[in-house]
């Protein structure tokens, strides 16, 4: 029987009729309900806890004021970190520093003449993997004031007019593509032409694989330019900062008359995991750190960032034959 008292159609079995009756919401008084409806106050069931935005306690910690040091875990005041050239005052951990900030810490005020500033990379291979090279470049260009992973130019460091190239890891991991290679080569060639020493401060994950063979060719190009610079008996100082690896390490970064490094910088060619898998040997403690490589003679000195400028001046004095203490320019107030 259904609500309207009509006879069910002949194709529907009796059970189906019963189900139909129940779904309409009617209760057959002769048929006991399988589940007794709750007798208690139904409101207790219906009331649900509110999930909407409630009263939340706001944490009034302004962003961008403090940075946690990854080494000693101290919260460092950002202003203090900037004043200290991005070095933790507690444990001397060297945080990454941008290329422009580093140049500012080394050259005399307003003495830096940037070269090839507008030069930008081109996606010559139409490279696409997880993201296209074109998109990666666009994202990195939007990020800040860098057109690529190196800034080059000529500046005054103490009494020395010097060709200076500074890499920036924040642009595509400081990778060396055609632009990095070309800018550095032009810097070295210009310095050779003007009889200037060259300082290159590296920070790089290696050759930029988005540019395939073109990035690898930069290794030979920069090395050849440095060979002409050396033939002119002009000094080249290479400074390795965290991290300096792969194609950059295997080319201009290790061709310095003096090779310096910042404390605890990771320096190497392939990553430790690759070396371990290839050699099937346990790697010694401190492998690929500046300190490890100083012990084994690959690098000549470890120089803390705050001392870098004065040490570079001292080395240039020595290499250019300038008498000790013969500085003429006012040291830059860092």
69 binds Zn ion (CB under 5 A): yes
Would you say 93 or 160 has its CB closer to Zn ion? 93
Applying CB under 5 A, among 16, 19, 72, 117 the residue interacting with Zn ion is 72
Would you say 90 or 194 has its CB closer to Zn ion? 90
What minimum distance in Å lies between the beta carbon of 231 and Zn ion? Answer: 44
143 binds Zn ion (CB under 5 A): no
71 binds Zn ion (CB under 5 A): yes
Number of residues forming the site for Zn ion (CB under 5 A)? 7
Rounded Cα gap, residues 185 and 224, in angstroms: 9
- Rg, C-alpha atoms of the chain: 34
Tokens of 55: 């009263």
Q: Which stretch binds Zn ion (CB under 5 A): 68-76, 248-256, 264-272, 308-316?
A: 68-76
C-alpha closest to that of 165 among 269, 237, 95: 237
Applying CB under 5 A, among 12, 16, 26, 91 the residue interacting with Zn ion is 91
Rounded Cα gap, residues 195 and 198, in angstroms: 10
Would you say 69 or 266 has its CB closer to Zn ion? 69
Would you say 88 or 166 has its CB closer to Zn ion? 88
Please spell the DSSP secondary structure of 38-54, one letter per residue: P-S-THHHH-----S--
C-alpha closest to that of 309 among 45, 70, 105, 63: 105
- DSSP element (H, E) containing 151: strand 150-157
**Distance of alpha carbon 24 from the chain centroid:** 65
What minimum distance in Å lies between the beta carbon of 304 and Zn ion? Answer: 14
Strand, coil or helix: 154: strand
86 binds Zn ion (CB under 5 A): no
Would you say 82 or 193 has its CB closer to Zn ion? 82
Rounded Cα gap, residues 125 and 198, in angstroms: 32
Applying CB under 5 A, among 90, 143, 194, 314 the residue interacting with Zn ion is 90
What minimum distance in Å lies between the beta carbon of 68 and Zn ion? Answer: 9
Residues making contact with Zn ion (CB under 5 A): 69, 71-72, 88, 90-91, 93
């Amino acid at each position: 029987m259904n609500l309207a008292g009509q006879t069910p159609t002949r194709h529907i079995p009796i059970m189906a009729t019963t189900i139909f009756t129940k779904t309409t919401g009617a209760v057959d008084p002769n048929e006991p309900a399988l589940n007794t409806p709750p007798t208690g106050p139904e409101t207790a069931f219906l009331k649900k806890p509110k999930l909407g935005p409630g009263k939340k306690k706001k944490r009034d910690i302004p962003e961008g004021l403090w940075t946690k040091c990854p080494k000693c875990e101290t919260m460092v005041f950002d202003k203090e970190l900037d004043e200290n050239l991005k070095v933790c005052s507690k444990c001397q951990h060297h945080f990454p520093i941008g290329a422009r900030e580093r140049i500012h810490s080394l050259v005399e005020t307003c003495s830096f003449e940037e070269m090839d500033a507008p030069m930008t990379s081109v996606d010559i291979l139409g490279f696409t993997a997880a993201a296209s090279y074109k998109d990666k470049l666009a994202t990195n260009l939007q990020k800040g004031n860098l057109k690529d992973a190196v800034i080059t130019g000529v500046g005054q460091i103490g009494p020395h007019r010097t060709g200076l190239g500074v890499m920036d890891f924040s642009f595509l991991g400081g990778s060396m593509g055609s632009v990095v290679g070309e800018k550095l080569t032009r810097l070295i060639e210009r310095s050779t032409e003007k009889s200037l020493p060259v300082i290159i401060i590296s920070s790089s994950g290696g050759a930029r694989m988005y540019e395939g063979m073109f990035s690898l060719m930069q290794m030979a190009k920069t090395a050849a330019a440095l060979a002409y610079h050396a033939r002119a008996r002009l000094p080249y100082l290479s400074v390795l900062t965290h991290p300096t690896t792969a194609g950059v390490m295997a080319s201009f970064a290790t061709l310095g008359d003096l090779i310096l490094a910042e404390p605890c910088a990771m320096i190497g060619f392939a990553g430790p995991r690759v070396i371990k898998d290839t050699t099937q040997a346990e790697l010694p403690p401190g492998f690929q750190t500046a300190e490890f490589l100083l012990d084994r003679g690959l690098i000549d000195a470890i120089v803390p960032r705050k001392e870098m400028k004065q040490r570079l001046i001292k080395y240039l004095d020595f290499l250019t034959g300038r008498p000790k203490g013969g500085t003429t320019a006012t040291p830059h107030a860092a």
